[in-house]
Structure 1
Amino acid sequence: MGLSWKRIWGLLVLVFIVGCHDNGPIWKPLEVTVSAYNSVKSQTANNPRLAAWGDTLVPGEKSIAVSQDLIALGLGHMTKVRIEGLQGVYKVKDKMHGKWKNRIDIYMGNDIKQAKAWGIKKKVIYYAIEQPPE
């Protein structure tokens, strides 16, 4: 799937903005499949609010789970992520099952209706790579 002009323009604007700030994070783009999940027993193992890195998930917070192949690309624990079309910055707090590839899951607390309404979408995400101090 190619990038649309809208996405290319947004990426250029982002690159310009990032280039104007010293020692802030570099926001690296990546197109992924985005789904949603909840902290309910039917969707998780054992304690539904306990994430893979040991974090306790709190409904309302902006957190995501990532497929394990994305961890090697730099989307490790507590990496900051922006998701195309959504407000705010999310943090990586959970890992997905090893069967998933190139995918993130947005945490939607206990709101199963909201997660189902989200469905599965292709989105460009931007993840933060911290620059070393000069």
Structure 2
Amino acid sequence: MKYIVIGFCAFLSLYQAHAQQKINPDNYVWVERKVKASAYNSTKAQTIGNPSIGAWGDKLEPGMLAIAISRDLIKLGITRHTPFKIEGYPGYYLVKDKMHARHKNKIDLYMGDDIQKAREFGVRTLNVEYGILKK
């Protein structure tokens, strides 16, 4: 069983690295923004409905570089699969979920099932860049 878990983790790492390569930053106009940021997990207590399914129907799995956005950000052209570069975090985070309408100018970093990591993240203000596809 131990080797199955190790093999799965290796596969997941390779899959995520491959998924990250699909983002060609030259295909986007990058827009800077300061947002409030928090973190969330795949737990019933933190979500409505199936905790492993995002608002657009994407399956959320631990290890993914995914975020949820406040709905007001959709008016800026940010939508499902929009890439984000987040200050202090490597890689591109993709929008896979959206938050309740009460939140404004906010993102939520997905932290799988690691509740302690999400608590330690807390709430902070971060500089981000989001990519809008060039026409």
Find out whether 1:38 has 2:64 as its counterpart. Answer: no
Find out whether 1:109 has 2:116 as its counterpart. Answer: no
Instruction: Please give the TM-score of this superposition, normalised by the length of structure 1.
Output: 0.80
The unaligned stretches of length 5 or more in structure 1 are 1-21
The unaligned stretches of length 5 or more in structure 2 are 1-24
Map residues 118-133 of structure 1 onto 2, 5 A cutoff.
Answer: 118-132=121-135
What one-letter code is carried by the residue in structure 1 that aligns with 2:121? W
Q: Aligned pair count?
A: 112
Please list every run of at least 4 consecutive aligned residues from structure 1 whose deviation after the TM superposition is greater than 4 angstroms.
Answer: none
Q: Displacement, 1:24? A: 2.5
Aligned partner of 1:97 in structure 2 is 100
Distance in 1 of aligned mates of 2:49 and 2:66: 19
The C-alpha deviation readout for 1:63-117, integer Å capped at 9, x for no partner, is 0000000011121011000101111100000000000000000000000000000
Query: Which structure dedicates a bigger proportion of its chain to strand?
Result: 2
What one-letter code is carried by the residue in structure 2 that aligns with 1:38? N
Q: Output the aligned Cα RMSD.
A: 1.5
The C-alpha deviation readout for 1:17-56, integer Å capped at 9, x for no partner, is xxxxx95311100100000000011111221101100111
Query: Which structure dedicates a bigger proportion of its chain to helix?
Result: 2
Find out whether 1:64 has 2:67 as its counterpart. Answer: yes
